[in-house]
């Protein structure tokens, strides 16, 4: 059957199960947008192409499916770059489709021409430039296969305008995609399993480091079986939160720069680390020379390049984590590690009550209070999307996630502006979920124009703007390491309530802890997107903190109030 290249694009998308596309039209992609009206795909018009990429990313993380973003050539394509890099760092499967100038004009510096495949080569799993109509179908099928298989990631397909306009005979071919040299189906070797089992059974002070791979591989259930059989405690990475229930007694909490003090200490004193689907990021390890000096190390990852990249390991297992754990589970011995678990409990001491109990409700609103109360008033069931900064770390500390894909955040790239558009994508992925975007006053303003997307699409998101009139995390570094020289971090902000109302949305304000329940309940009961501005303590800091490059156990702790002072909670 004769079809245009533009029609082929939508035929492939619908056959791949795509229901939502986030994008922004323009001249070089216009043939594709014209053809879109004849296909059952919902298009969400974001207010910036960066918002489209983040929304596709949020959709992918919340659903486990491939997210799709679309843009025109030149500035439209380059505006996707930050979102593509974000997805690449966090292994999120998205396909970005961009228009390109006509093939005969490529290389001539034509209007809105940019070499987007050259620009995105380092930040995509793969990318393509398509100049012939007959190549569109096979290329898009390959793009989806690459994006979702193995270690997921972003794929960009740049399609010349004349290829979209051209006509060819085309029929859908459902033959499985096969690419020479690309082998994402990796089988675990028996010798590696045997060596890992020997180390696990012999360990007296083991710790599991559970990362994003637990969620992406669907290994939550088998991980829990493994943990309960071996009695090995679990520390989670930022992106691993939700992969192992926060309420489980063997969940120690988050590790790393802003992780729990007892978690970092346990890692430093462990005799075996089992790294499951994590990549030993510098924010997790601190100083590599002093990282877990007494521990043997087992690393399971689907990406061979991650093994021994940052940390030398004793056993490196390349393969799907769920399949690997299913192989390990019957082979490992039931564990009795009572002494080790009791020691970790001693490390916690009264810190298990958390520092939030030490922050008095004395007219000052702390972000920790906001997050803890939000967890309480949502029954821990919300799908939370954060931006990047202090609020992100407080969310990880004070909102206890028991289920996977309920915390969506930019980990590897640390992208300010991610929160709101990613929350939009997450809401489309899971329309029945209670979605909260927790954002800082700085990052929120980078993509605040997406409030109009919320209004136009009629979606229900609750937005908690944590307003301390600072670029909070940068200010914290200036406080700790630059003698409180607050260069370019104080912020003069707009009236966030009026901003929400200008977009046709509801705006609320909270200035004390006693008001939190009222505004949260009001947001939950109000139709449409609601923005709540929480005016919080301006110079609070996230504790503990491991300074960049410092030993993991060299943590800066929250200063304790002197007994008998006004701030003494006793």
| Catalytic residue from among 88, 446, 473, 555 | 473
Cβ partners under 8 Å of residue 569, min gap 6:
357, 358, 359, 360, 561
Write the DSSP assignment of 272-295 as a string of letters.
EEEEES----HHHHSSGGGSSTT-
Contact by Cβ (8 Å): 258, 397 = yes
Is 111 annotated as catalytic?
Answer: yes
At 525, which helix (H) or strand (E)? helix 516-525
Question: What DSSP character marks residue 149?
Answer: S
- Which residue of the set 19, 112, 165, 537 is catalytic? 112
Tokens of 519: 């505004």
Note if 142 is an active site residue. Answer: no
- The SS3 of residue 86 is helix
Q: Which contacts (CB < 8 Å, 24+ apart) does range 314-319 have?
A: 314/195, 314/199, 315/192, 315/195, 315/196, 315/199, 316/192, 317/188, 317/189, 317/192, 317/193, 317/196, 318/186, 318/188, 319/186, 319/187, 319/188
Query: In the sheet that 67-71 helps form, which strands lie side by side, from edge to edge?
Result: 42-45, 20-23, 67-71, 94-100, 155-160, 126-130
Q: Is 473 a catalytic residue?
A: yes
Among residues 11, 16, 36, 49, which one is catalytic? Answer: 49
Torsion over CA of 509, 513, 515 and 520, rounded to 10 degrees? 80
The helix (H) or strand (E) run that includes residue 317 is: strand 315-318
Q: Which of 65, 125, 161, 427 is catalytic?
A: 161
Alpha carbon distance 37, 464 (integer Å): 35
* Cα gap 483→202, rounded to integer Å: 48
- Residues whose CB is less than 8 angstroms from the CB of residue 182 and which lie 6 or more positions away in sequence, other chains included: 146
**Can 49 be counted among the known catalytic residues?**
yes
Q: Report the catalytic residues.
A: 49, 111-112, 161, 473
């Amino acid at each position: 059957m004769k079809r245009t290249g533009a029609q082929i694009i939508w035929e492939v998308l619908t056959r791949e199960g795509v229901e939502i596309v986030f994008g922004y039209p323009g001249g070089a992609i216009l043939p594709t947008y014209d053809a879109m009206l004849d296909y059952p795909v919902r298009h969400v018009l974001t207010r910036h192409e960066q918002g489209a990429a983040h929304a596709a990313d949020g959709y992918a993380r919340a659903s486990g499916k491939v997210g799709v973003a679309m843009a025109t050539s030149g500035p439209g394509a380059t505006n996707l770059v930050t979102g593509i890099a974000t997805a690449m760092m966090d292994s999120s499967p998205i396909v970005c489709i961009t228009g390109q100038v006509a093939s005969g004009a490529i290389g001539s510096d034509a209007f809105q021409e940019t070499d987007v495949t050259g620009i995105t080569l380092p930040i995509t799993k793969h990318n393509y430039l398509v100049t012939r109509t007959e190549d569109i179908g096979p290329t898009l099928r390959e793009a989806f296969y690459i994006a979702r298989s193995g270690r997921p990631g972003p794929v960009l397909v740049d399609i010349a305008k004349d290829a979209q306009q051209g006509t060819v005979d085309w029929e859908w071919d459902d033959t499985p995609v096969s690419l020479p040299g690309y082998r994402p189906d990796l089988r675990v070797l028996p010798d590696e399993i045997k060596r890992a089992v020997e180390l696990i059974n012999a360990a007296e002070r083991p710790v599991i480091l559970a990362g994003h791979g637990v969620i992406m591989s669907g290994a939550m259930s088998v991980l829990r079986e493994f943990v309960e059989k071996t009695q090995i405690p679990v520390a989670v990475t930022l992106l691993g939160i939700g992969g192992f229930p926060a309420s489980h007694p063997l969940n120690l909490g988050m590790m790393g720069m802003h992780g729990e003090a007892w978690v970092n200490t346990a890692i430093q004193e462990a005799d075996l680390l089992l790294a499951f689907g994590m990549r030993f990021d510098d924010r997790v390890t601190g100083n590599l020379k002093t990282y877990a000096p007494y521990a043997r190390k087992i690393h399971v990852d689907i990406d061979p390049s991650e093994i021994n990249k940052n940390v030398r390991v004793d056993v490196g297992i390349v393969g799907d984590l769920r399949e690997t754990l299913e192989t390990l589970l019957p082979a490992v011995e039931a564990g009795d590690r009572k002494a080790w678990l009791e020691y970790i409990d001693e490390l916690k001491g009264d810190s298990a009550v958390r520092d939030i109990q030490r922050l008095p409700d004395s007219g000052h609103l702390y972000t920790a209070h906001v997050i803890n109360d939000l967890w309480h008033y949502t029954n821990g069931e919300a799908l939370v999307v954060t931006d990047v900064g202090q609020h992100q770390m407080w969310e990880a500390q004070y909102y206890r996630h028991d289920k996977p894909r309920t915390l969506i955040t930019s980990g590897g790239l640390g992208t300010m502006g991610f929160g709101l558009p990613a929350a939009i994508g997450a809401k489309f992925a899971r329309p029945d979920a209670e979605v909260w975007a927790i954002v800082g006053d700085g990052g929120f303003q980078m993509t605040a124009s997406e409030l109009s997307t919320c209004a136009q699409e009629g979606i229900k998101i609750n937005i908690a703007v944590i307003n301390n009139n600072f670029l909070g995390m940068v200010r914290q570094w200036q406080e700790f390491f630059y003698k409180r020289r607050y260069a370019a971090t104080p912020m003069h902000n707009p009236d966030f309530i009026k901003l929400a109302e200008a977009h046709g949305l509801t705006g609320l304000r909270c200035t004390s802890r006693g008001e939190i329940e009222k505004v949260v309940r009001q947001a939950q009961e109000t139709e449409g997107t609601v923005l709540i501005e929480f005016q919080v303590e301006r110079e609070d800091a996230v504790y503990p903190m491991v300074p960049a490059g410092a030993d993991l156990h060299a943590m800066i702790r929250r200063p304790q109030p002197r007994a008998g002072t006004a701030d003494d909670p006793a």
